[in-house]
């Protein structure tokens, strides 16, 4: 074989592999059309190779001619093949599979505080309590005065109140719903009042200017402190677990006498002492006590006939313990990475 023929056949090989790469990169029919003109056109690459014939001996010409024809046919058929593939593409859409599950829209869920609040409500409803509500904007009278907290009483400072215009406040606790309920109902009363409260506190890991409480109240003939303890104990065991013990410590609230603060035995270390309970074995929950006769005076209940108990609790506190949330502020940030864990 002459040197020239060898050289020409090499160029043909290279031309074919170049074409393959160009074909693979062609994205649509116009791109195929352009390739066709470039390679097979009258002034195209292959046509130009026919001029090589004159540089070969007569006996080698048929070999180059055959090679040129083969590559021409290859390019032609590969262009055709690709073109039908493009034209067939819409059929791919027709082969849509109706049994595939649909993409679901993002769906919201109950906020963790509301989930726990629901649980709290269910527990108390199960013990015969009704659910009452009161306004978040409250009068000074219901928020303080009728709860036996007179004007200029130091416990008003404790509550860091947001004052609105004359006589109105953002309620600092849900205790005012006690008064509203007793004004509207004669004993026996057994109610809980869940709701949002506000205090002018600087936010930190355990304080927020807005938070939620559940107030409880029971008034009837012969209601005792022992019953209060029993109800709080039953609640503790239902919301956490059967092993939780309850402890009452003497305290003071203007609307209860005697008053107590109640603790649950630490649900993490079972009372042995750990970081969460600061090695005391106990978790402080909230306050409770026997309704002060002075409060009955505001709602015309006769304290010589009726007695009652009241208690409070913080929904955030219980949720934080239940789910080991370490910063109260995260409840109000609407961060989906947090909320989607519930
Ligand atoms: N209102 C109190 C507070 O916000 C909690 C409380 C304490 C409610 C004692 C009560 C109670 O009913 O008897 O801190």
pLDDT tens digits, one per residue of 34-73: 999 999 999 999 999 988 888 888 999 999 999 999 999 9
State yes or no: pLDDT of 98 exceeds 90: no
Closest to 219 (Cα-Cα) out of 192, 193, 189, 191 = 189
End-to-end CA, the chain: 80
Residue with the smallest CA separation from ligand 1 atom 10 is 311
State yes or no: pLDDT of 142 exceeds 70: yes
Closest to 181 (Cα-Cα) out of 209, 218, 214 = 218
From the number of C-beta atoms within 10 Å of its C-beta (0-12, 13-18, 19+), residue 112 rates as: buried
Whether the CB-CB separation of 223 and 190 falls below 8 Å is answered with no
DSSP calls for 177-235: HHHHHHHH-PSPEEEEEEEEEE--PPPBTTB-SEEEEEEEEEEETT--HHHHHHHHHHH
* pLDDT for res 155: 66
* pLDDT for res 92: 56
State yes or no: pLDDT of 5 exceeds 80: yes
CATH class of 112-339: alpha beta
Which of 149, 178, 286, when mutated, tests ligand 1's pocket best, judged by the most ligand atoms within 8 Å of its CB? 286
* pLDDT for res 150: 87
Confidence of residue 152 (pLDDT cuts 50, 70, 90): confident
Residues contacting ligand 1 via CB (< 6 Å): 173, 175, 215, 253, 256, 286-289, 310-312
| All structural domains of the chain with their residue ranges | 3-88, 112-339
Average pLDDT, the chain: 93
Residue with the smallest CA separation from ligand 1 atom 11 is 288
pLDDT tens digits, one per residue of 204-247: 999 999 999 999 999 999 999 999 999 999 999 999 988 999 99
Residue with the smallest CA separation from ligand 1 atom 7 is 287
State yes or no: pLDDT of 248 exceeds 60: yes
Q: Which residue would you say has higher pLDDT here, 276 or 290? A: 290
pTM for the full predicted model:
0.71
* pLDDT for res 336: 92
Task: Tell me how far the alpha carbon of residue 190 lies from the centroid of ligand 1, in angstroms.
Answer: 16
* pLDDT for res 91: 54
Whether the CB-CB separation of 36 and 79 falls below 8 Å is answered with yes
Atom of ligand 1 at shortest range from CA of 312: 8
Atom of ligand 1 at shortest range from CA of 289: 13
Whether the CB-CB separation of 224 and 215 falls below 8 Å is answered with no
Distance (Å, whole) CA 50 – CA 12: 12
pLDDT tens digits, one per residue of 153-208: 876 776 689 999 888 999 999 999 999 999 999 999 999 999 999 999 999 999 99
State yes or no: pLDDT of 93 exceeds 70: no
Confidence of residue 301 (pLDDT cuts 50, 70, 90): very high
* pLDDT for res 85: 86
């Amino acid at each position: 074989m002459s040197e020239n023929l060898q050289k020409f056949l090499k160029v043909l090989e290279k031309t074919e592999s170049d074409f393959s790469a160009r074909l693979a990169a062609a994205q649509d029919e116009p791109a195929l059309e352009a390739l066709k003109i470039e390679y097979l056109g009258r002034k195209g690459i292959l046509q130009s190779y026919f001029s090589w014939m004159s540089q070969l001996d007569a006996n080698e010409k048929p070999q180059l001619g055959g090679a040129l024809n083969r590559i021409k046919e290859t390019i032609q058929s590969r262009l055709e093949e690709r073109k039908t593939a493009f034209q067939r593409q819409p059929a791919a859409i027709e082969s849509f599979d109706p049994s595939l599950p649909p993409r679901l829209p993002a769906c919201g869920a109950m906020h963790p505080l509301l989930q726990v609040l629901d649980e709290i409500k269910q527990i108390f409803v199960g013990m015969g309590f009704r659910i009452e509500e009161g306004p978040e904007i409250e009068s000074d009278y219901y928020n303080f005065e009728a709860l036996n907290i007179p004007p200029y009483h130091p416990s008003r400072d404790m509550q860091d109140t947001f004052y609105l215009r004359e006589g109105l406040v953002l309620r600092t606790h849900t205790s005012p719903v006690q008064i509203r309920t007793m004004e509207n109902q004669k004993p026996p009363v057994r109610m809980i009042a869940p709701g949002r409260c506000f205090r002018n506190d600087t936010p930190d890991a355990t304080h927020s200017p807005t938070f939620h409480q559940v107030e409880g109240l029971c008034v009837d003939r012969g209601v005792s402190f022992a019953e209060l303890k029993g109800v709080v104990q039953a609640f503790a065991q239902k919301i956490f677990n059967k092993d939780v013990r309850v402890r009452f410590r003497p305290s003071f609230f203007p609307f209860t006498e005697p008053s107590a603060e109640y603790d649950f035995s630490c649900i993490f270390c079972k009372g042995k002492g750990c970081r969460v309970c600061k090695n005391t074995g106990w978790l402080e929950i909230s306050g409770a006590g026997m309704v002060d006769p002075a409060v009955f005076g505001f709602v015309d209940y006769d304290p010589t006939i009726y007695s009652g108990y009241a208690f409070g609790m913080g929904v955030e506190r219980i949720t934080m313990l239940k789910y080991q949330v370490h910063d109260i502020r995260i409840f109000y940030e609407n961060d989906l990475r947090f909320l989607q864990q519930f």
